[in-house]
Amino acid sequence: MVVGAVFALVIVGMALFAGGLAPHPPDEQNFDLIEAKPGAHALFGTDRFGRDVLSRVIYGARISLYVAVTSIALAMLVGGALGLTAGYAGGLWDNAINRVMDIFFSIPGLLLAVGVAAMRGPGVNSAVVAITIVYTPLFARVMRGPVLAEREKEYIEAVRALGAGRLVVAIKHLLPNVLSPFVVQGTVAFSQAILIEASLSYLGLSAQPPTPSWGNMLNEGRTYLETAPWISVFPGVAIMTAVLAFNLIGDGLRDILDPNA
What residue ranges bind another protein (CB under 8 A)?
99-100, 102-103, 106-112, 114-116, 118-121, 191, 195, 198-199, 202-203, 218, 221-222, 225-226, 229, 232-233, 235-236, 239-240, 243-244, 247-248, 251
Is the bond preceding residue 23 a cis peptide, omega within 30 degrees?
Answer: no
CA-CA distances (angstroms) from residue 126 to 38, 156, 192, 226?
A: 34, 41, 17, 32
What's the closest the beta carbon of residue 94 comes to another protein, in angstroms? 14
What's the closest the beta carbon of residue 137 comes to another protein, in angstroms? 12
- Helix, strand, coil share (%) of the chain residues, nearest 5: 75, 0, 25
Nearer to another protein, 114 or 189 (CB): 114
Nearer to another protein, 142 or 170 (CB): 142
- The answer to whether 159 touches 151, Cβ cutoff 8 Å, is no
Nearer to another protein, 117 or 156 (CB): 117
Nearer to another protein, 130 or 156 (CB): 130
Nearer to another protein, 108 or 210 (CB): 108
* 143/87 Cα distance (integer angstroms): 8
Short-list 62, 69, 30, 26, CA closest to 48: 30
What's the closest the beta carbon of residue 237 comes to another protein, in angstroms? 9
What's the closest the beta carbon of residue 28 comes to another protein, in angstroms? 25
What's the closest the beta carbon of residue 242 comes to another protein, in angstroms? 8
Beta bridge partners of 52: 46
Q: Which letter does DSSP use for residue 36 in this model?
A: P
Nearer to another protein, 43 or 110 (CB): 110
* 93/82 Cα distance (integer angstroms): 9
What's the closest the beta carbon of residue 169 comes to another protein, in angstroms? 30
Packing angle of the helix pair 124-150, 109-120 (nearest 10 deg): 140
